[in-house]
Structure 1
Amino acid sequence: MASRSTISRLINASQHSTCPCHGTHHAVAHPGVLNQLRLFATPVNQVQKEYAFEVAASNLRFGNGVTAEVGFDLSNMKARKVAVFTDENVAKLPPMKRALESLESQPNLPFQVLNLPAGEPTEESWADAIAWSRRHDFSHFLAVGGGSVIDTAKAANLFSAYKDAHLLDFVNAPIGKGLPITQALRPLIAVPTTAGTGSETTGTAILDITSRSFKTGIANRAMKPVLGVVDTQNTASCPTAVHISAGLDVLFHSLESYTAIPYTERTPRPANPILRPAYQGSNPVADVFSLWALQTTVKYLPRVAKNPDDEEARSQMLLASSFAGIGFGNAGVHLCHGMSYPISGLNKKGPKYKHPGYVQTHPIIPHGISVAITGPAVFQFTAPSSPDRHRQVLAIFHATTTSDPLISRIPDSEIGAHIYDMVARFLDGLGVPRGLKALGYTADDIDMLVEGTLPQRRVLDLAPGIGDIVGEDGRWHLTKMMQSSLEY
């Protein structure tokens, strides 16, 4: 673990001098540091702000063995023909067997199964799934698998309704056109087999644009599953490495949504509901789900990492994943996810890192690992924007409350340093690689990683110190955070 002095050097410019973007009086005490910084734009304070937020999530059914009910659900929905999505690994496991038995138990319920390649979806795998779905006249969709399977089923559903649309028509701007979804989609039931993405509760679908070496996606509430069937039996067969990576996604979904720009600091939403963004900024209802998911993950993820057969811990992580999905599905995520996309996407052409414990033969930085690797630096940066929220986060990691003198006596100006230390220690305890260098990246790769992050406006615009600053694209801050994430 890095020493306090090392951490202090890493955070000196942004924490002890306090970044001028965050506008606190401590910055004037260090003119030598300020002279090294570029001129900053002014905070947004002259435009009308948002006055409302919405809460949207899929229905959830949580319990032991509930996968056996999906056949009844689809029959009750009067399904005429069901598209069943899974992947080549899950196809061999008990969750898929239970789902198929449930479908077969219903008379007059025809279905067809598509076994997707194992691993994270790409534009090629999406195109194949979309073409397959378009060839059939499916009335309903069922996804049994991790976030990759569920996200692919969402895309296939969308583009089956829009038969002449191109892939980038709905992908988030500026990478794609970000067109609104105005047509009704078919009902989708999602059965997650990992405790990670929370995709069963959201309208978000992520893919790897291999031609451009980064990830992006589509975020629209029209793509939400009508039902998430969260079966506590279904994560039993996951390797430990998958449990940890998936759990890290839960951790950072909750952390980022809780610390996102408040909805009251966002510019007004369009009057037309179809045009409103899925991600709105932190808000009181999303906070409830995000904080519960954070508390649960901090408590149970280390237990799963030590003993994947711990049924209570696995069950609680599965519920935390869904809760975090509701939280970030309404509030949004920001910097860790924005920077994760080029970190994982560029790996195939760059370091070619292959994470231990994954069965794929090709290079892979699992999503949870790519998200976590910048965590200490990110929350060091965001802490000055909302010290009270970050103090709450710190209390949760310490399994205490903000009234504990251990937490309450920390000055606002030092919260970031403590967050950096605490998140780094937590990740180290889970065996997460200690920085970008451990993944094979070097200081020479920083500019490339930043360039890959800049197009991720969907999430960068929710980042305090970037999304709420007039004219701020985040390049300077992203560079500093990437540099601080090289090793810790």
Structure 2
Amino acid sequence: MAASASRSNVVRLLSLLQSSSNACPCHSHAHTALPTPGSFSSLLKYGRQYANAADSTDYAFEMAASNIRFGPGVTSEIGMDLNNLHAKKVAVYTDKTIAKLHPMRAVIESLEMNKVNYVLYDTVRVEPTDTSFKQAIEFARQHRPDAFVAVGGGSVMDTAKAASLYSANPEADFLDFVNAPIGKGLPVRSKLKPLIAVPTTAGTGSETTGTAIFDYEPLHVKTGIAHRALKPLLGIVDPLNTRSMPSQVHASSGLDVLCHALESYTALPYNQRSPRPRDPIERPAYQGSNPISDIWSLHALKMVVEFLPRAVKDPEDFEAQQQMLLASTFAGIGFGNAGVHLCHGLSYPISGLNKTYKHPGYDVDHSIIPHGVSVALSAPSVFRFTAASCPDRHIDAAVAFGADRATIKAESAGEVLAERLTRFLQDLGVPNGISALGYKYSDIPALVEGVLPQHRVTKLAPAGEPGREQIAAIFESSLKNY
């Protein structure tokens, strides 16, 4: 009887605590509907209903990132890594420029020293297209490797991800895994061969993410494939591999890091994103801002503000280059789980509709707007637009640029951040708005049409997906930034 009374008192006390939880606004859980204490069966029932409820916002987020190895000279370990994986045949992907430089020489030397059998694909296209992806996929299907290595920037790493994905799914149509609404956006259920990524630029963070971006030529827009299954098994982040980057490449790749950090930190919170997945495999890689990604993203932003100007202005500033490489990886972990939003959504048609502009510092035989440049040019206008939805986060970002928090009011957060961003871009010598790339006011309708299919990112804007007129207004104010 004493034990029964004791249990009764415990249940009564728990009920009392739950009913009075509203008393403290900091520690109460009034926003969470909890099952009645003492009922294990109701807890199970509650859990099933909660996880399977349809047409509501998500209630969970996931943290997924590649293993990362960082240090000067770690590229020389890759041959041992592949032997440890018992790889019998390795497909090595790179582009024609990197094929001639130190990072590729270091990889090949390690493979040969460790007697790793490999085949080389050295014609990856910088800013890849669906056509160049398909060529790389065909190479993988012909050679049937049991491991992949990517040596290069985001274009190379993303191409290797696509080659790995489609070689493991030989019956798949190309659009099966491409993000909706351009493709079907099917989840990846097959097991992919291991991929080791060796970044040679401090920008994309692709060594940490399950995202592969490309130009879809039929629509003249960028899109991509995004699923956790695509993330590399290992990212070998070696500061020696960025020493050969030209100043312009440092600048444009660093701008990608900047926007990865800013957009993921200000993205729609994960628990406001809908719909809730019916199956965990359907939870998108881009989930919305969350407490773990926030830490990586905000820290990466502070690193970019401090070290990118130094890395661009002084090719011998090894500390700045090393810190930017780390910032790229940190931001990759942040945005690879939270996602990006409008700067990236607007950048895709900016790049895809380009016909004549060729950015200095890029040794390619085609017109090119580097991804980081296309992303950054709309950033001041984007953050003016989004600030009203989460002014506190825009204030945090402005403070990272050196603004005084005490002087920033919520209603001016967007303007302060935009002004700091504009000054930062101008000091780096970034083109003055999209008009410097050849775009005119008359091009805005076509640019808007290119943004509309980018639901994967535009729906993560903190205010929700913008309409045509709002997108057009952002493009118009991005024609010139200073």
What range is the shorter-chain TM-score in? 0.7 to 0.9
Contact 2:55 2:276 in 1 (8 A): no
User: What is the 5 A alignment of 1:75-114?
Assistant: 75-107=83-115, 109-114=116-121
What amino acid sits opposite 2:414 in the alignment?
Answer: G
Out of 395, 399, 406, the position equivalent to 2:399 is 395
Deviation at 1:391, TM superposition (A): 0.6
Counterpart for residue 349 of structure 2? 342
Residue 414 of structure 1: aligned partner? 412
Partner of 1:376: 380
Tell me, yes or no, if the aligned pair for 2:435 and 2:480 is still in contact at 8 Å.
yes
Contact 2:126 2:156 in 1 (8 A): no
- Tell me if the contact between 1:466 and 1:474 (Cα under 8 Å) persists in the aligned partners: no
Q: Retained in 2: the 8 A contact 1:89–1:118?
A: no
Alignment of 1:205 onto 2:203: no
| Secondary structure at 2:207 match in 1 | helix
Q: In the alignment, what sits opposite 2:472? A: 479
Offset at 1:268? Answer: 4.8
Matched residue type, 1:315: Q
Q: Can you list the C-alpha shifts for 1:111-132, whole angstroms capped at 9, x where unaligned?
A: 1010124421111111111011
The equivalent of 2:367 in structure 1 is: 363
Q: Tell me if structure 2 keeps the 8 A contact 1:269–1:277.
A: no
Q: What's 2:449 paired with?
A: 451
Q: Structure 1 length normalisation: TM-score?
A: 0.86
Q: Offset at 1:211?
A: 2.5
Report how far residue 242 of structure 1 moved.
Answer: 0.6
| Bigger radius of gyration among the two | 2
TM-superposed deviation, 1:323: 0.6
SS in 1 for 2:122: strand
Amino acid aligned to 1:157: S
Whether the aligned pair in 2 keeps the contact of 1:250 and 1:320 (CA below 8 Å) is yes
Partner of 1:353: 357
Q: 1:115 aligns with which of 108, 116, 122?
A: 122
| TM-superposed deviation, 1:419 | 1.3
Contact in 2 for aligned 1:254/1:294 (Cα 8 Å):
yes
Asked if structure 2 preserves the Cα contact closer than 8 Å seen for 1:243 and 1:308, the reply is no
Residue number in structure 2 paired with 1:328 = 335
Match of 1:317, SS state, is helix
- Does the aligned pair in 1 maintain the 2:210–2:230 contact within 8 Å? yes
Q: Which residue of 2 aligns with 1:139?
A: 146
- Paired residue for 2:435? 437
Distance 1:382 1:214, change over 3 A: same
2:21 aligned residue: none
**Aligned equivalents of 1:344, 1:117: Cα separation in 2:** 18
Long gaps (5+) in structure 2: 1-53
Q: Partner amino acid for 2:372?
A: G
Q: Does 1:162 align with 2:169?
A: yes
2-side partners of 1:326 and 1:283: how far apart?
12
Deviation >6 Å, runs of 4+:
none
| Offset at residue 444 of structure 1 (A) | 0.3
Q: Provide the residue aligned with 2:309 in structure 1.
A: 302
**Unaligned stretches of 5+ residues in structure 1:** 1-45, 401-405, 468-472
- Aligned residue pair count: 428
Cα drift, residue 305 of structure 1 = 1.1
Residue 233 of structure 1 aligns to a residue in which SS?
A: helix
Counterpart of 2:237, as a letter, is V
Q: For residue 351 of structure 2, what is the amino acid of its counterpart?
A: S
1:240 aligns with 2:273: no
Following the alignment from structure 2 to structure 1, what is the Cα–Cα distance between the partners of residues 413 and 469? Answer: 22
Displacement of 1:48 in angstroms is 3.6
1:427 corresponds in structure 2 to: 425
8 Å contact 2:55–2:275 — kept in the other structure? Answer: no
CA deviation profile, 1:21-44 (whole Å, cap 9, x unmatched): xxxxxxxxxxxxxxxxxxxxxxxx
Q: CA deviation at 1:360?
A: 1.9
Secondary structure, aligned partner of 1:87:
coil
Question: 1:35-76, CA deviations, whole angstroms, 9 ceiling, x for partnerless residues?
Answer: xxxxxxxxxxx9743221110000000000000000000100
| TM-superposition CA deviations, 1:400-437 (whole Å, max 9, x none) | 6xxxxx32232211111111111111100111111111
Partner residue in 2 for 1:150: 157
Q: Is the 8 A contact 1:116 1:149 kept in 2?
A: no
List per-residue Cα deviations over 1:220-253 (Å, max 9, x = no partner): 0000000000001000011111110000000000
* Alpha-carbon distance between aligned partners in 2 of 1:71 and 1:474, rounded to the nearest angstrom: 50
Is 1:63–2:71 an aligned residue pair?
yes
Structure 2 residue 58 is the aligned partner of structure 1 residue 50? yes
Name the residue aligned to 1:35.
Answer: none
Q: Secondary structure at the match of 1:201?
A: coil
Distance 2:158 2:136 in 1: 11
1:13 aligned partner:
none
Amino acid across the alignment from 2:66: S
Structure 2 match to 1:23: none
Whether the 8 Å CA contact 1:51–1:268 is kept in 2: the answer is no
Give the partner amino acid of 1:69.
E
Distance in 1, Cα, partners of 2:363 & 2:244: 13
Distance in 2 (CA, whole Å) between partners of 1:211 and 1:429 is 37
Is the 1:80–1:139 contact (alpha carbons within 8 Å) kept by the matching residues of 2?
Answer: yes
Which residue of 2 is the match for residue 292 of structure 1? 299
Aligned to 2:131: 124
After TM superposition, give the deviation of residue 146 of structure 1 in Å.
0.6
Asked if 2 retains the 8 angstrom alpha-carbon contact of 1:174 and 1:455, the reply is: yes
8 Å CA contact 2:358–2:367 kept in 1: the answer is yes
Render the CA deviation track for 1:322-342: whole Å, top value 9, x for unaligned: 110000000000000000000
Structure 2 SS opposite 1:185: coil
Answer whether contact 1:442 1:486 (CA < 8 A) is retained. yes
* Counterpart contact for 2:348–2:451, Cα < 8 Å: yes
Q: Distance in 1 between matches of 2:84 and 2:305?
A: 39
Give deviations 1:154-190, integer Å, cap 9, x for gaps. Answer: 0000000001212111100000111111110000000
SS at match of 2:353: helix
Post-superposition CA distance 1:293-315 (Å, at most 9, x none): 10000100000111122100000
- Relative contact order, higher structure (CA 8 A, sep 6+): 1
1:271 deviates by 4.0
Asked if the contact 1:199/1:325 (under 8 Å) is kept, the reply is yes
